[in-house]
Chains A and B, each alone.
Chain A
Amino acid sequence: MTLAHRALFTWFIVLVFLILLCLRLDPRTTWNWFVTFTPLWFFDCILIIYVIIKFIRKWRNLNRLADLLLLYKWNIAGVLLTITSQVMICLTLEYPQQIPIYFTMTPLCLLLTTAIVYVGSRLGKREGWLI
């Protein structure tokens, strides 16, 4: 898939999710929050398939498994933390007062921290990164 296709696919998923979110937040529907997050689950499935395909394409023999895990550490961490964050948010919204908010926010904070470290490390390697 080219960048344009991937971008339009992501755009469509976000659009559908926002429409469902608006419908759920306004008192028009009483859907389960896991149903509201359906577009994001679909996107996560695609993400997992995408990472697995990337992984398999590089994976020639078992000896390199550790190297591969190290090579794709950002991808794996990103996908796992994203899915965990979404599950925790859905659980908290569906069953309020039952899960402490700090448990809900921990995966999200970890995800954001990972993203900050990743972007920061990329930025640090570049010269003239302001423009």
Chain B
Amino acid sequence: MFKLSELVRWLGLTEFEILINLCGLLVFTITLSFKIAGTFNNILPELMSDWFTIFSPLFFIDICNAYFCVIVGIRMYLDSDNKRKALHRFMWSTYFLVLIAIFKYLLCLKLSGRTGLEYSEVFSPIFVLLQLVAVRACQLPNSI
């Protein structure tokens, strides 16, 4: 339904960030399979019982993306004449990363049973992010 360039325009992520996210998701899917199947429960019982270990690929890609966004933000600010655009891009990436990271952290806590939050509260950062994404969708030009 969407071309890659259209997704980049809508979500405000570069192709490289999308690629990193996909790689992280693939690794996460594999570790989640191991966790559910209990494959390594005998070999690494402590690691496999902790949900933060299972979610570590996703946290790792968040760190990678944050580093990438900082570098791109600084370069855009220094090289570009349009400082406002650079700041906008940096702010959007920050919102995106922070909200996603909060969601993952809350989900880990919930799955570990360390918090009494309901799932609707755990998903609240995603709902906030969806609102921001809707605003970006409304800002897209009608000619494309």
Interface of A toward B, CB cutoff 8 Å:
2-4, 6-8, 10-11, 14-15, 18, 21-22, 25-26, 46-47, 50, 100-102, 104-105, 108-109, 112-113, 115-116, 118-120, 122-123, 126, 129-131
Contacts and interface: CB of A to CB of B under 8 A. Distances in A.
B28 to A, nearest CB: 9
A45 B64 CA distance: 36
B32 interface: yes
Contacts of B76: 131
Nearest to B89: A131
Interface residues of B, number: 41
B130 A6 contact: no
Interface string B30-72: 1011001100000000000000000000000000000000001
Contacts of A18: 123, 126-127, 130
Nearest to A113: B26
A131 B1 CA distance: 24
Given A8-B134, A131-B75, A3 B10 contact: yes
Given A25-B119, A26-B118, A8 B22 contact: no
22 contacts: A3-B141, A4-B138, A4-B141, A6-B2, A7-B137, A11-B130, A11-B134, A14-B130, A26-B118, A50-B1, A100-B37, A104-B33, A105-B32, A105-B33, A112-B29, A120-B19, A129-B14, A129-B15, A130-B16, A131-B72, A131-B75, A131-B76
A7 B123 contact: no
B37 A3 contact: no
A101 B30 CA distance: 10
Contacts of A122: 4, 15
Given A2-B142, A112-B26, A122-B4, 5 more contacts: A2-B144, A3-B10, A4-B141, A4-B142, A50-B1
A116 B23 contact: yes
Nearest to B4: A122
Contacts of A11: 130, 133-134, 137
A100 B34 CA distance: 11
Top 9 A-B residue pairs of the complex, sorted by shortest distance between their CB atoms: A7-B137, A25-B119, A4-B140, A112-B26, A3-B144, A105-B33, A22-B120, A101-B36, A101-B37
Contacts of A101: 33, 36-37
Given A10-B1, A129-B16, A108 B144 contact: no
Contacts of A113: 26
B22 A119 contact: yes
